[in-house]
């Protein structure tokens, strides 16, 4: 009877002999504690005081076993109940090729099964020799009851999930697969959730992948995914089955890289192990990449065909040519320019520059799940060091971003379904090296056309920063102002003043303070509403 192969981890004899020479215990990392106080002359719904305790610490035993610990505790939305808590506490112990994840963590196994969804539980990653073994189990979502006082916060069922991945990589080929099982738990019948269209779900998703090197520098790879989704586990309805497949062929020769790719995702494809899926499309693409002019110019192009309505269920079908081009040119160490354009259907989280200029706390722009679908995109960036001496350095920056999206029916874009976004920013900075002083100024403009309305926001920004006390104290001061127009009519004026200071002491300690004062003049047609707010943040951090 054949039992199978048995593998044991190799023991380094010299490592064992010298273990007494190593430190039995070592700790390093950083921790920080911050408090934010907010005050305004208007009711904003924000908490007047919030705190955050964050840290990343690594515990090491004899320099062999590592236990990374990360923590993020806060009182954001203290009166709310979230499907996923804003607090984070996780452990990541590791020993050679073994690593565990414990607490509030996330793992990615396949784009068609488990792909970055946060869970509270435990996971493991093993990479002995040519193997990759992953497994996890835990709570994907907390139970959230409906709260009529917070109608925008959708209720959820408690959701548990389990999954794993197994993959083998050799010099000539690889093969692997993943699995996910997730199910909502129903304790009480919820008529409110039913009325909102929220039902308890169950999902099983699987994927298999493989690749092979046909000849030198020629590789073929493919992945197939299937998701079996039951949208209401209380019924006897037949589960929905979704499928996805992608394949690619790549060949490299004389710095040239040529590839052919195919991807097809059935309509409504989704799993409970990911937050978002782009589905109901079929792509056939080709790509080419190569450096030119002694590697100073990097060129990458891709093109192909795309179609949707794979099940012939829509009133209109879309067929279009898709493509992208990326150019990066670095003729000298002081000049760099890049240009990219694409018509691929995709998602970006690009915000207006003024979203950052007008932010009142460092956490205003941390939303990573706010996807924006686009059809056309163009980006141009230029960075030019105009002066570089021992006493002074000047740098010029210029950026243009353009996005356009629209839903076509036939050859026409319906009114209200076209959006355009254009952002232009320019800046010039001067660094006076002996004095440790930096001065920057710039101008920003954003034009947003949506719902048949055109909005324009323009304004300057200037800042200065300097370091004193043997570079232990860093201070900065900035001012900005911007005006928003809608169809040439002024809607709002926003003015910001920011001051920050950071002090390092005792080598590993630092203290930071910042205050932001903001004035908003809003025109509501009948009168001008003045809103004042002040936000102060104090942070202590220590490295060890």
Place of tokens 């488990």: 114
Of 21, 33, 107, 104, the C-alpha closest to 64 is 21
Structure token pair of residue 253? 């020769």
- pLDDT, residue 246, reads 96
pLDDT tens across 405-455, in order? 765 544 455 556 678 899 999 999 999 999 999 999 999 999 998 877 889
**C-alpha dist (Å) from residue 511 to 29, 501, 538:** 17, 8, 8
Structure token pair of residue 20? 């007494």
SS3 189: coil
- pLDDT, residue 158, reads 92
**C-alpha dist (Å) from residue 284 to 250, 296, 341:** 14, 30, 18
Q: Which residues pair with 251 in a beta bridge?
A: 218, 258
Note the Cα 29 to chain centre separation in Å: 24
- Please report the sign of the dihedral spanned by the C-alpha atoms of residue 362, residue 364, residue 369, residue 373: negative
Q: What is the pLDDT along the chain (544 residues), one digit of tens a residue?
A: 333 333 334 445 555 556 666 778 888 889 999 999 999 988 776 788 988 888 888 888 877 788 887 888 888 755 555 555 556 678 888 888 999 999 889 999 999 999 989 999 999 999 999 999 999 999 999 888 887 777 777 888 999 999 999 999 999 999 999 999 999 998 876 778 888 888 999 999 999 999 999 988 999 999 999 999 999 999 999 999 999 999 999 999 999 999 999 999 999 999 999 987 888 989 899 999 999 999 999 999 999 988 888 888 876 677 777 889 999 999 999 999 999 998 865 433 445 666 767 776 655 554 433 333 447 889 999 999 999 999 999 999 999 999 887 655 444 555 566 788 999 999 999 999 999 999 999 999 999 988 778 899 999 999 999 999 989 999 999 999 999 998 888 889 999 999 999 999 998 999 999 999 999 988 876 667 888 999 999 999 999 8
pLDDT tens across 80-139, in order? 555 555 566 788 888 889 999 998 899 999 999 999 899 999 999 999 999 999 999 999
Determine contact, residues 16/527, Cβ cutoff 8 Å.
Answer: no
pLDDT tens across 478-500, in order? 999 999 998 888 889 999 999 99
DSSP state of 446: E
CB burial of residue 43 (10 Å; 0-12, 13-18, 19+): exposed
Phi, psi (5° rounding) for residue 11?
-105, 125
pLDDT tens across 251-270, in order? 999 999 999 999 999 999 99
Element (H, E) at 202: strand 202-215
Place of tokens 């060129």: 299
């Amino acid at each position: 009877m054949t039992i199978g192969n048995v593998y044991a981890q190799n023991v380094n004899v010299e490592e064992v002999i010298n273990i007494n020479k190593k430190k039995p215990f070592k700790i390093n990392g950083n921790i920080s504690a911050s408090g934010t106080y907010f005050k305004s002359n208007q009711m904003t719904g924000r908490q007047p005081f919030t705190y955050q305790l964050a840290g990343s610490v690594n515990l090491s035993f004899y320099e062999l076993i590592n236990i990374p610990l990360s923590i993020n505790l806060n009182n954001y939305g203290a009166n709310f109940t979230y499907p996923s808590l804003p607090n984070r506490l996780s452990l990541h112990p590791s020993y050679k090729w073994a690593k565990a994840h414990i607490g509030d963590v996330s793992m990615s196994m396949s784009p068609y099964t488990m792909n970055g969804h946060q869970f509270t539980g435990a996971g493991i990653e093993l990479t002995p020799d040519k193997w990759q073994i992953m497994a996890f189990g835990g709570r994907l979502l907390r139970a959230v009851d409906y709260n009529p006082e917070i109608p925008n916060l959708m209720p959820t069922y408690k959701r548990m999930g389990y999954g794993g991945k197994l993959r083998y990589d050799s010099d000539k080929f690889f093969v692997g697969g993943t699995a996910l099982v997730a199910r909502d738990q129903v304790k009480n019948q919820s008529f409110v959730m039913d009325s909102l269209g929220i039902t308890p779900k169950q999902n099983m998703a699987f994927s298999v992948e493989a690749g092979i090197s046909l000849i030198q520098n020629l590789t073929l790879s493919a992945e197939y995914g299937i998701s079996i989704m039951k949208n209401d586990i209380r019924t006897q309805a037949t589960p929905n089955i979704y499928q996805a497949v992608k394949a690619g062929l790549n060949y490299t020769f004389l710095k040239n890289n040529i590839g052919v790719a195919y991807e097809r995702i059935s309509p409504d494809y989704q799993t409970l192990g990911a937050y978002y899926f782009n589905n109901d499309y079929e792509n056939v693409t080709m790509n080419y990449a190569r450096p030119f002019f002694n590697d100073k110019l990097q060129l990458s192009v891709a093109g192909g065909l795309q179609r949707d309505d794979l099940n012939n269920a829509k009133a209109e079908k879309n067929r279009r040519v898709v493509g992208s081009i990326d150019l990066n040119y670095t003729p000298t160490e002081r000049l760099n320019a890049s240009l990219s354009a694409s018509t691929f259907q995709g998602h970006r989280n690009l915000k207006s520059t003024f979203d950052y200029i007008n932010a009142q706390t460092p956490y205003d722009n941390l939303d990573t799940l706010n996807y924006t679908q686009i059809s056309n995109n163009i980006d141009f960036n230029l960075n030019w060091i105009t002066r570089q001496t021992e006493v002074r350095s000047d740098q010029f920056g210029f950026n243009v971003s353009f996005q356009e999206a629209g839903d076509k029916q036939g050859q026409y874009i319906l009114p209200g379904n076209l959006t355009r976004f254009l952002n232009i920013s320019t800046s010039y900075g001067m660094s006076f090296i002996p004095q440790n002083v930096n001065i920057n100024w710039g101008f920003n403009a954003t034009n947003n056309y949506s719902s048949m309305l055109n909005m324009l926001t323009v304004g300057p920004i200037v800042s200065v920063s300097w370091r004193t006390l043997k570079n232990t104290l860093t201070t900065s001061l900035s001012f900005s102002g911007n005006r928003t127009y809608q169809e040439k009519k002024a809607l709002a004026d926003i003015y910001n003043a920011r001051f920050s200071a950071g002090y390092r002491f005792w080598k590993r300690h630092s203290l930071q303070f910042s205050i932001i004062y903001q004035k908003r003049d809003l025109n509501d047609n009948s009168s001008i509403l003045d809103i004042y707010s002040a936000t102060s943040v104090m942070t202590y951090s220590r490295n060890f």
